[in-house]
Amino acid sequence: MPRTIEDAMEACIQLEERYLWTDRLCIIQDDPNDKMEQIQAMSGVYSSAAFVLVAVEGDHMNAGLAGMGQDRQDQKCEIIEGLMVTLVGQSYHHAVATSSWFSRSWTYQEAILAKRKLYFTSSQIQFECENQIWHEDRLSFGYGNLNKKAPEYRTPAFTMGLYGGRHVPFGEYIRHLLAYRDRRLSYSLDTYNAIAGILNALYDPNDVHFGLPLPEFDQALLWRCHPGTSPTTILRTKVHVINDSKSLVLPSWSWSSVIGGIYLEADDFQGSLVSWSLSSHNNPKENKVVVLAANIWSPPLSWMKTEDSWVNRRVSARVSMAWAWMSGCFELPVPEGSSLGQTSFEELDRMLTDRWPTYRDFAAEVFASQAEDDNPSLSDGLVAKSYYPHRWKTEMPPGALYGRVQVARLRVLNKSDSNVTLRVLDLDGNGIGVVSRLEPLIRTEVIPQIEGGDDTFEFIALSVTFNTNTFIPFPPRSRHLDIGGKSLESPLAVAVLIVGRKNGYMYRVSIGRVYLQEWVNAGPTFEDIVLI
C-alpha cells in the first residue's frame, strides 16, 4: 500500500471519517470502461466529499502526508526579554502555489470542486473552506482566519471556486481552461480527462465535445496560443491509441491539439458565419451533432445594443449581423428593404426588431429552415437544420467538423506588427488583418513556405466581431456608412483561420482577424469543407 494512502487512512480514522476515496484504488485502472465512467463522475466525487486531503509535499505516492506518518519540524521560538520570538512559517499561498501538487493538471479539478480541503505541509496543516482559510501557526498569522474574499487572498485560481462569483458558465470555462492549460500534464492522453470534472460541472456532459462546449461552440473555436509559451503540436494525425480499443481524438480546431498555454476571451459581440456539423467519438457513420451558432448574449439587451467600452457608444449587434448578410457573408437572399444604402442604422434596427427579437431568431433564419425539439444532447433542446443540407460523407473521421464556409486566398507578410501577430494582406498587398504568429504551424509550415517564395494561403471565415484596436493594430481602409454617412464606431471584423489541406480535409494552422469589408472585397467563395 502506498505510504500516502496509508497516511490518508490514518487521518480519516483520527477524524472519525468512515470512508476514503482514492483514485489509485477506487478506479479500476486496467478497465477502460470503468475508468471512463469514474472520470466522468469526478465532479460529483469532489463536490460531494466531506473534505479532500491534499499532500502538498512530495511528488510520488510514497511521499506520505507530512505530520502523519512522519514528523514535522517544530516551529522554533524563544523568549527574549519577556517577548516570544518565532520563525515565521511559509504563508498559505506560498506553500501551496510553489508545490508540485499545484503544478499538476490532474489536481486542478479537485482544488476547484472540493468544498473543503486539508493541506498537509512540512510546517503545518491548513484548512480551506469556501469562505476562509484556517491554519495552526497562530503566532505568524493570527488566530487562523484568512478571509478569502479579501483581494490579497484571491490570487490562486482555486480560491475562487467553480464560479468565482460570476455564475456565467462560459466565463468560468475560459478562466478554468486557461489555468488548467498552464499546469503540467505527464501524459497527453489525459488532456480531456484531467479537466472533465470541471467541464461536467459547468455543462451537461453531452454538451462538451473535444473540450469545447456546444452552447458557446463558435466562440470557443477562437482560442489561440498564449504569449510567453512555446506550444507544440501533439500529433499531426490527431489520433492516439488507448489500450488498442479506444481512440483519443485531438482535432486541430480544439485546444487539445497543442501543448502549452492558450488564450481565449469572451467578446462583447460575436456572431457565427457557419453552422457546423460535428462527427462525435462513437459512430461517425450515424452520429453527428448540428451545432447552433453561439448564443453568448445572456441579457436580451446585449443583442439589441452592445456596449463599446472603448468609445462609450452603443452599437447594434443586430445591425452588424444584417450588414454582414448584406455584404455577402451568407448565401441566403438579403431580406427585402434592408439595404443600408436606403436607410440609417437606427431605422434598420427598428425594422429588424420584430423579425429578430433575439440572436437565436437571427440564427434560426440564417442557418435553419426550421428548428425542432428533437435532439436531447443540446441543453435547451433546440436544433438547427442547415439551410444548405450538409452532404455528410460516410466514414467521416471522429472529430471532423463539416460546414459550408467562405474561403479566400490571402497573403501573409513575414513581418510582425507585434511580437504576437503577422500581418495579412490582400492579393494587391494592402494590409487587411492579422494572424497569431504563436501557433506551432506558423513556425513549421507558414514561415518556411513564405521563405520559399509563396506567401499566399487559404483562409476560412468563422464569425463576425468588432475590432477595437485590441487585435488588428491599424485602422481599416474604409468605414461602414449608412445613408446619412454615419459609421459604426467599432469597425466590423471577421474571425478567420489559416487552413492547410491534407487528404481532402482542412486543418487549422492559425487564428486571426480580417476587416469585414476587406474580407468581402477579397472575393471569398462558398465551399463545403471538412475541418479535422
pLDDT in tens, 354-408: 888 888 888 888 886 433 333 333 333 333 333 333 445 556 788 899 999 999 9
Cβ–Cβ < 8 Å for 20, 12? yes
- Total count of domains within the chain: 3
Q: Round to whole Å and give the CA distance between 512 and 467.
A: 12
328 and 396 together in one domain: yes
Residue whose C-alpha cell is 462513437: 282
Q: Round to whole Å and give the CA distance between 376 and 309.
A: 38
Q: Round to whole Å and give the CA distance between 380 and 215.
A: 9
In a domain, 278, yes or no: no
Q: Round to whole Å and give the CA distance between 497 and 32.
A: 35
Helix (H), strand (E) at residue 47 = helix 42-48
Query: What is the structure's pLDDT at 310?
Result: 36
In a domain, 265, yes or no: no
483 and 520 together in one domain: yes
Measured distance between the N- and C-terminal CA atoms of the chain, rounded to whole angstroms: 44
180 and 81 together in one domain: no
187, three cell numbers: 501524459
Query: What is the structure's pLDDT at 28?
Result: 76
Question: Rounded to whole angstroms, what are the CA distances from 30 to 3, 239, 527?
Answer: 22, 21, 45
Residue whose C-alpha cell is 489555468: 179
SS3 state of residue 284: coil
65 and 201 together in one domain: no
- What single-letter amino acid sits at 160? M
Query: What is the structure's pLDDT at 396?
Result: 74
Question: Rounded to whole angstroms, what are the CA distances from 276 to 185, 248, 270, 280, 390?
Answer: 30, 21, 16, 12, 9
Residue whose C-alpha cell is 462538451: 208
Helix (H), strand (E) at residue 531 = strand 525-531
223 and 321 together in one domain: no
Q: What share of the chain is helix, strand, coil (3-state, %, to 5)?
A: 30, 25, 45
Q: Round to whole Å and give the CA distance between 267 and 245.
A: 40
102 and 190 together in one domain: no
In a domain, 270, yes or no: no
Helix (H), strand (E) at residue 55 = strand 52-55
**CA proximity to 203, closest of 194, 214, 192, 217:** 214
SS3 state of residue 71: coil
104 and 202 together in one domain: no
176 and 145 together in one domain: no
Residues of the chain with pLDDT under 50: 143-144, 155, 157, 235-246, 284, 296-301, 306-314, 369-391
In a domain, 221, yes or no: yes
Residue whose C-alpha cell is 437565436: 360
In a domain, 428, yes or no: yes
402 and 312 together in one domain: yes
**CA proximity to 478, closest of 367, 349, 323:** 323
Q: Which of 106, 128, 160 finishes a domain?
A: 160
151 and 185 together in one domain: no
148 and 178 together in one domain: no
7 and 145 together in one domain: yes
Cβ–Cβ < 8 Å for 342, 334? no
Q: pLDDT tens digit string along 17-26?
A: 999 998 878 8
In a domain, 275, yes or no: no
DSSP notation for 94-115: HHHHTSHHHHBSTTHHHHHH-S
**CA proximity to 101, closest of 161, 45, 184, 21:** 184
In a domain, 433, yes or no: yes
In a domain, 283, yes or no: no
Cβ–Cβ < 8 Å for 124, 176? no
SS3 state of residue 97: helix
Domain that holds residue 405: 300-531
Ramachandran class of 486: left when φ > 0, alpha when ψ lies in -120 to 50, beta otherwise: beta
